Structure 1
Amino acid sequence: MREIIAAALRRRRTSALIAPAVGFGAGLLSQWADSAGGAAGLLTLVAPVLLLVLLFRDLVRRPGTAELRIDETARAFFSPPDRALGYPPILCGWLAFMAVDSGHRAADDPLRWALVTAYVVLGVAIATGHWRRMPFVALTPAGVTCGAPRPVAVVPWEALGAEAPVGPGAAGRYLRLPVTRPELIRRVGRGLRPGVFVPVRELTVAPALLAAAIQHYATHPRHRAAIGTTAEYARLRHALGGAPQHAA
């Protein structure tokens, strides 16, 4: 599991560096095309159109379909993020493009420079969050862990109710865990949040399987101690009415 987290984090951090660099380069290209005039001016449309296409592809991306993976050493069933390029680096690339392009046109206009500053600050904030954490979920004998490499939230089984986690529709991005005892949850970060959300559309696991597994262990305490073993995963899938596939 550690190797998978490390590899996924490297991919995520690479995209956090490359996307703004591409946006910055596209902004410089836009300046050149604008000064060249004529047909070259059409190049200024390439970057924003490409970014919009990538954003749309991310919005219509379907949830995962894979099984939970098994790590017997860490005693966990887990799901890493998929390999698709998500919207944060795409958005950072667009903000870098807009900052360069707007700075080129700002001249002595303080309002435009304020806009450039806003693009830069927002882009850095998004890139920092993308660099530090990634979507991840793990079921352990103790509970549900969300986020990696450092957990965003650790939810003990005792904090969950008997209801199944639900999301905003079949194509939703998140599953909301049925928290009944929020005082037991350990969180990282500031602010008070009313619930715990798992970003399932960015994970490889099928959302329905993850929701059913969480509900099963929330309502069957006697099976929790065996979580993370191959035998227990086979028993879980049989109990849920399916046969395990790709559970490596």
Structure 2
Amino acid sequence: MVSRVTMRRAFAVGVGIAAVSAGWFEATYSDGPSYWRDFAVRMGPWLLYLLAMVLFAVRQRRLSRTVAFDLGENDRAFRTRVKPEAVWYPAAMTVALTAAFWALGPSTWEAGADPEWQLTVVEVVATVPLGLATVALLGSQLYTLWAGLPAVVLTAHGVRLRSPFGYQVVPWNALRADCPPRPDPGDRFLHLAVERGLGARRRGLALIPLPWLDIHPWFLADAIRHYAAHPEHRAAIGTPEEHERLRHLLLAGAGAAAA
């Protein structure tokens, strides 16, 4: 079941992308030359994307301080949620590429003596792939927001890694001992060491970028190791009581280790 937060984000970003794209489409195809309009249409989206890229790089240097999971609404699970920049950065990139496609459109159409517009083979080759890529990017972005990806999901049966490009399902007994360790500050992705032949499944690229998750990487790694080592607590995963017990246990352990 999709959470209300994810639905609101997907709706807001979808409306924003549609509105900005429609605005650039209208500006691009309006009659009469205009230097400033043409400059805004062709450079505005990329300036927006450049600003988003700089802000994203700055914010990604900070690790999340969240030490909690989201509880599944219809299924018993602990789920991670994404940071805000995991929503607006891909959205800015999508707007930029979409607007760039619409800005390229007028240069590919030429009105001739024939009442029907003509397209050359070169123009088709240049425009059609870009248009298809734009549609695919927009669709994948909305799907990613709708599904709340990337995400790490803990259930009574194991760990699920879900990314926009694939997934990995690892039963608890398939995890190697003391896996995963606490990530180092320079680690960018969550890695699970798996024993073969014990039911683990993988499809595509199950890459989980830790800076995109709104959860402290150490808390996430400690929680996975805890349930791998304590099967007696797995059945309670997804309940508020188990969530509070886990938080108190891991935070107390972190405090003792720091002392």
Which blocks of at least 5 consecutive residues in structure 1 are unaligned? none
Cα drift, residue 66 of structure 1:
0.9
- Report sequence identity in percent: 28
2:78 paired with 1:77: yes
| SS of residue in 1 equivalent to 2:33 | helix
Indicate if the aligned counterparts of 2:173 and 2:198 stay in contact, CA closer than 8 A: no
Distance in 2, matches of 1:34 and 1:242, equals 68
Indicate if the aligned counterparts of 1:165 and 1:176 stay in contact, CA closer than 8 A: yes
The equivalent of 2:113 in structure 1 is: none
| SS of residue in 1 equivalent to 2:79 | strand
Cα drift, residue 243 of structure 1:
7.9
Distance in 1, matches of 2:173 and 2:201, equals 13
Letter in 1 for 2:17: A
Letter in 2 for 1:95: L
Distance in 1, matches of 2:201 and 2:20, equals 38
Distance in 2, matches of 1:168 and 1:238, equals 21
Alignment of 1:205-220 (within 5 A): 205-220=215-230
From the superposition, tell whether residues 182 and 22 of structure 1 become closer, same or farther in structure 2 (CA, over 3 Å). farther
Cα drift, residue 156 of structure 1:
1.3
Cα drift, residue 49 of structure 1:
0.3
2:177 paired with 1:179: no
2:122 paired with 1:111: yes
2:7 paired with 1:9: yes
Distance in 2, matches of 1:186 and 1:90, equals 33
Indicate if the aligned counterparts of 2:175 and 2:194 stay in contact, CA closer than 8 A: yes
2:146 paired with 1:131: no
The equivalent of 1:200 in structure 2 is: 210
Indicate if the aligned counterparts of 1:13 and 1:130 stay in contact, CA closer than 8 A: no
Moved more, 211-220 or 176-185: 176-185
Alignment of 1:27-38 (within 5 A): 27-30=25-28, 35-37=33-35
Distance in 1, matches of 2:181 and 2:120, equals 49
Letter in 2 for 1:177: L
From the superposition, tell whether residues 14 and 186 of structure 1 become closer, same or farther in structure 2 (CA, over 3 Å). farther
Which blocks of at least 5 consecutive residues in structure 2 are unaligned? 110-118, 255-259
Cα drift, residue 128 of structure 1:
2.1
Cα drift, residue 175 of structure 1:
1.0
Letter in 2 for 1:201: P
Distance in 1, matches of 2:181 and 2:130, equals 35
| SS of residue in 2 equivalent to 1:175 | coil
The count of corresponding residues between Structure 1 and Structure 2 is 234
Moved more, 152-161 or 66-75: 66-75
Distance in 1, matches of 2:182 and 2:51, equals 25
Distance in 1, matches of 2:4 and 2:176, equals 33
From the superposition, tell whether residues 10 and 116 of structure 1 become closer, same or farther in structure 2 (CA, over 3 Å). farther
TM-score, normalized by length of structure 2?
0.71
Distance in 2, matches of 1:112 and 1:242, equals 64
Cα drift, residue 168 of structure 1:
8.6
Distance in 2, matches of 1:124 and 1:167, equals 39
Letter in 1 for 2:195: T
Cα drift, residue 32 of structure 1:
5.3
Q: Which has the larger radius of gyration?
A: 2
The equivalent of 2:51 in structure 1 is: 53
Indicate if the aligned counterparts of 1:80 and 1:204 stay in contact, CA closer than 8 A: yes
Distance in 2, matches of 1:30 and 1:172, equals 43
| SS of residue in 2 equivalent to 1:35 | coil
Distance in 2, matches of 1:145 and 1:20, equals 32
Deviation readout 1:139-159 (Å, 9 max, x if unpaired): 1221113349xx944321122
Cα drift, residue 76 of structure 1:
2.6
